Each structure stands twice: as C-alpha cells, then as structure tokens.
Chain A
C-alpha cells in the first residue's frame, strides 16, 4: 500500500506561470509535518492484534497498513498520540523524539 510519498512545493518565477485565479496545482506532501513532533509512536508489532484502530483514528493518515501490520510514516506523523491512546493491546508507546 505504501511507497515513499513525495511532493513538490510549487514556486512561480513569473505571473505568466500562474493560473488566473487561486487554484491548487499540487499536493501538500512537500510539507513534512513529522518535524512538528516532540514524541513519536513506536509499535511493538509482535503484540499487535490487527484491530486496525490505530490506522482508523490517525487524523493525518500517517499510519498505513503493510503486510497486515500498521506502519508509521514518520515523515508526516505529528506525534499526537491518539494511536497509542486508542490501541486496545497497548502495543503502541509514545517515546521522546530524538533529534
């Protein structure tokens, strides 16, 4: 389901390159919101019961399912902690972000 997400920040050199009204031309993927984190989720996959709640409750679609397991996309995870709070198996732990 995942490949590394990529996005480009669009920059205009001249008005000639711009549409005549404010109209989007690209995604927000260039904006790596992972830099907002103070804490990051770490998933103990051996304890995962495959309930899907972490994927379901992530406000930023930063948890994806790969090979029947949740995988955090750390480029975008904002570290809100909802996944850890909602996990019924308690297998997600929020740890201090290392910089």
Chain B
C-alpha cells in the first residue's frame, strides 16, 4: 500500500510493522510525530504494545533496556539533547547485548538552542557500540527499521536509524508500506537467548573485574564485525521479498569518476542531483553515500575509493580539535591501501545551514583545482 508519509511517520510505521512490544519515549522537536503516531497506534489497537510515557530520555532508554531484557521487542526515538542524555545508557544497551532499535533525528546540539539538521548528536555516540544507519529517503527509513530489528536481534547489538531534522523527518514522500503478513514472514518474533525470568534465574551486569571485562568487550566487537556481511545478507532477503535493497552504501557513478563525493543522509541525495548536473557539463564525478556508519563498511569504502585520485568527503559534523568525522574515518580506512588517493575533508551544513547542489559544485570545483587540500578542514559556507 502506498502512502504519503513524513520521515517521522515512516519510523512509526517501521516500528509498528516490526511489532514492537514496548515503546518508551519522551518528546523532543523534531521527533515528536514519531511517538505521537505510535501512541495513537497503541491506543487504537493497530499496534499491540505498551507505551510508557517516561519523564526523560534517560528513563526512556532505561525502560527500553528493562523491557528488552524481559524479552520484549523495544523501540524508541529521540534527537540531540535527548540522545545525549541517554549516553550512559547507550553503553548499557550495547554492553548488555540488547537489540533495541531507536530512531534518531539528527539535530544540532545546544547551546544555542537549535532544532535543525546536524550530525554531531549521533556521531558523538559512535563509540557506544550501537550500529548506525543514515537514511536519505522515507522509504529507506521504513525499510531500515525493519531490517535493523532483524540484524540487531541476530547479533544482540542495538541499532540507531538516523534521519536529518526537517529535511527528512518532516518531508513528505511516497512510501510503499509492506503488508504486515509479509513483514511477519521476514521478521520472526523476538526470541532472545537470555531473559530476565524466574524460570531461569541469573544476575545480569554484575561487578566485572579486569579478569573478565576485556573478553566481554572482545565478544561485542567480534559480533559487530559480523554485521556488514549480515546487513548485506538480510538486505538481499528483503530485496527478494519487497523489491528494495539497501546495503551498506550507495555507489552512484563512482567507477569512472575523477572526484568521488562521500556523503551521508539527505546531503547524499542532494549530491546525486549535483552529480547529474556536473556530468552534463562533462565533469566525471561520482557519489558514495554511506548508509551504514557503524560498523564502518571498510571493504566497501576501500573497494570503491582505493584507486580514485580525489575523494571529497562531506561532513555535516565536526570533531573539535580534529576534522570532520566521516573524513577521519575514510582516511583511516584508506590507510595502507596504496598511494594516489587524496582526501579532501569538507565541513558544511552545521546547525542546519542548507546544503544545496551549489554547495557540491563548490566542493567539486575546489577538489578539481587543487592537488591537495590547503587545510585539514575545508569550511564551506561559513561567513568568514
């Protein structure tokens, strides 16, 4: 069935179709519509779930953690300050091996108050052990939630499904909504190996000495390393059933490109428009839109970028005291992969500053006219 949905509602439908059983969430602009619709769905019986109206995002994640260890499929959504408030518990969910799926609307971190698109909130959480999926269409959002549940539950690792504030969360697009029966066939009920139950009593998360902690974290990382292949495999399965494949990254005309843009989120779909435009005037440019940031898709990135002369990474984020985060990670992935690739790291769009096809023309133009970047960070659009 096709419906015109905003990105936030695509998240709600994804959570609903995945038969989430416990939802605990706290409102924050621009996430509110996600939970409002889910609340309605719970109230009118469309979704058989308990909706816990918590008093903060920290409690939202705590309640999800409790519900998940009890054996229920859990979902929540947040943004910026809310995500930051959950930070302590993001570690708890991943270390506790709980396959919670969370929607995060990429919004700039305060101060000053901002409700507009920026990736620092989710990227500040990149080390917490959560998988991170960056979406650029509402169809992708809905499809990703369903697949995230499947991958998370197989690996016992939580996932974040990430949308840009307003440019995706509040933008209406046509979304193909799968039938519940088809989703049920794809995504079986949550059946965890270990649960909190008097039938099999254990104490979870007790004091863990240096004698054991290392191995537990080793296991988390080893399981995370299985994720890229699993994401591709479950993605192919999804494609067979629903006709749409997501995968780890979107390779658009990179094969013969002199300059490859590396993008994520909605900037990634704007980049495609710019690529088409530039190709018309004979510029050989391509776009690699990274969909899965954690686990980092090393093989895909290396395969596509290895022999490229110039790579222009576009970050809507920054790690203060270093560079844009995708730029750092791309450079580290290319380390030791052979010479000849120059990476240009651009930072633009912070705090919701618009990223347009013109932005990309500027980016490509600079890359084409310089042998190497003049600065570690190439700031685009800042009024200097």
Hey, which bits of chain A sit against chain B, CB under 8 A? Answer: 12, 15, 18-25
Contact = CB atoms under 8 A, between A and B. Distances in A.
Contacts of B156: 20-21
B155 to A, nearest CB: 10
Contacts of B96: 21
Contacts of A20: 97, 156, 193, 216, 219-220, 223
B216 A22 contact: yes
A20 B218 CA distance: 10
Given A23-B202, A24-B202, A15 B218 contact: yes
Interface in B188-203: 193-194, 202-203
A88 B186 CA distance: 68
Contacts of A21: 95-97, 156, 194, 204-205, 216
B131 to A, nearest CB: 16
Contacts of A12: 212, 215
B206 interface: yes
Contacts of B212: 12, 18, 22
Interface in B214-260: 215-216, 218-220, 223
Contacts of B219: 15, 18, 20
A25 to B, nearest CB: 7
Most interface-central of A19, A21, A23 (chain B CB within 10 A): A21
A10 to B, nearest CB: 10
Interface residues of B, number: 19
Contacts of A22: 95, 204-206, 208, 212, 216
A24 B206 contact: yes
Contacts of B202: 23-25
- The 10 residue pairs across chains A and B that have the minimum distance between CB atoms: A15-B215, A24-B203, A21-B97, A23-B202, A22-B208, A24-B202, A20-B97, A22-B205, A20-B219, A23-B204
A23 to B, nearest CB: 5
15 contacts: A12-B215, A15-B215, A18-B212, A18-B216, A20-B97, A20-B219, A20-B220, A21-B156, A21-B194, A21-B204, A21-B216, A22-B95, A22-B212, A23-B194, A23-B203
Contacts of A25: 202
Given A15-B216, A20-B97, A21-B156, 19 more contacts: A12-B215, A15-B215, A15-B218, A18-B212, A19-B194, A20-B156, A20-B219, A21-B95, A21-B97, A21-B194, A21-B205, A22-B95, A22-B204, A23-B203, A23-B204, A24-B202, A24-B203, A24-B204, A25-B202
B252 to A, nearest CB: 38
A19 B202 CA distance: 12
A22 B206 CA distance: 6
Contacts of A15: 215-216, 218-219
A41 B2 CA distance: 77
Contacts of A19: 194
Contacts of A24: 202-204, 206
Contacts of B218: 15
B292 to A, nearest CB: 22
A21 B218 CA distance: 11
A7 to B, nearest CB: 14
A23 B201 CA distance: 10
Nearest to B156: A20
B347 to A, nearest CB: 38
